């Protein structure tokens, strides 16, 4: 397979030549070990072109699990060679999973495929500051529901977004699920300072302790938000008016609406 010129090279991560060479050697070779079937640079290029993991695997004649493994191995190597002076970036996947009936439970692990379901992201700074706008939407309350997340870096640049269908849920369930996913993504990228902004005033006041959570279906989600929030070094969850949260609202509504149209 002829590998095309990469869209984004991990050599640009400013992590040192030795580490760069290690990262760029990550890939899949043929059975003889002398021909690279799929490299990390090739994966990055195809992700930038909007290809799903399934399509990348098909084009490269490898398994989807192999593509995920390449990305995860590169991410781990970059994390192991973390340098404070470098502008740290990490590769993440665009994962399209089948719809799930519920949000992550408190006892579930931070599974990469689950965290990044519905994500369209290319590079996110490691151990840095992020601001995420989140929303949840339900067409019927309860009805087909989706979450939307817009991720900005410390300079206000959008570095990613999430639009994911989560099943037949209420608005409140979807809003809490969006909060949980945002926190999971922040933990995944070792975020040092996180601001989450939502137009759900109820959820914000419940998390602050102003209101009690009485809904039995929401209590586990509330507990998970509190648990994950403690895992981020500095985390603030803020209320914003809906007009300041239009992008996340659109992404959540799109996830719910697209699924509904398919039915």
The pTM of this model reads 0.63
The domains of the chain, with CATH numbers, are 1-91 (no CATH), 92-263 (3.30.420.10)
Strands (E), 73-221: 89-91, 119-121, 123-125, 129-138, 143-152, 158-169, 193-198
| pLDDT of the chain, 263 residues: tens digit per residue | 323 223 233 333 333 444 444 544 555 554 444 455 677 777 777 776 667 788 888 887 888 888 888 888 777 766 665 543 333 333 443 333 333 333 333 334 567 888 888 888 767 888 899 999 999 999 999 999 999 999 999 999 999 999 999 999 999 999 999 999 999 999 988 999 999 999 999 999 999 999 999 999 999 999 999 999 999 999 999 999 999 999 999 999 999 998 655 55
Residue 168: strand pairing partners: 144
Distance from C-alpha of 224 to C-alpha of 201, rounded to nearest angstrom: 18
Residue 5 burial (10 A CB sphere; 0-12, 13-18, 19+): exposed
What's the chain's Rg over C-alpha atoms? Answer: 19
pLDDT of residue 7: 29
């Amino acid at each position: 397979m002829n590998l095309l010129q990469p869209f984004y090279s991990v050599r640009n991560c400013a992590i040192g030549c030795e580490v760069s060479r290690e990262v760029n050697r990550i890939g899949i070779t043929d059975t003889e070990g002398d021909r690279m079937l799929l490299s990390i640079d090739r994966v990055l290029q195809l992700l930038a072109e909007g290809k799903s993991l399934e399509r990348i695997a098909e084009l490269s004649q490898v398994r989807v699990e192999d593509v995920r493994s390449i990305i995860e191995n590169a991410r781990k190597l970059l994390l192991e060679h973390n340098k404070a002076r470098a502008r740290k970036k990490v590769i993440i996947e665009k994962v399209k999973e089948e719809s799930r009936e519920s949000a992550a439970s408190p006892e579930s692990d931070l599974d990469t495929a689950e965290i990044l379901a519905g994500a369209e992201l290319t590079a996110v700074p490691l151990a840095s500051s992020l601001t995420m706008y989140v929303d949840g939407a339900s067409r019927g309350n309860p009805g087909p529901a989706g979450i939307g997340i817009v991720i900005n870096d410390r300079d206000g640049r959008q570095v990613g977004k999430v639009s994911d269908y989560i099943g037949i849920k209420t608005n409140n369930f979807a809003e809490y699920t969006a909060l949980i996913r945002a926190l999971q993504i922040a933990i995944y990228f070792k975020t040092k300072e996180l601001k989450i902004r939502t137009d759900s005033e109820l959820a914000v006041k419940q998390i602050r302790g102003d209101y009690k959570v009485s809904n039995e279906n929401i209590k586990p989600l509330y507990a998970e938000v509190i648990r994950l929030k403690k895992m981020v070094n500095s985390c603030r969850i803020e209320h914003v008016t809906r007009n300041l949260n239009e992008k996340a609202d659109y992404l959540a509504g799109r996830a719910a609406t697209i699924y509904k149209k398919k039915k």
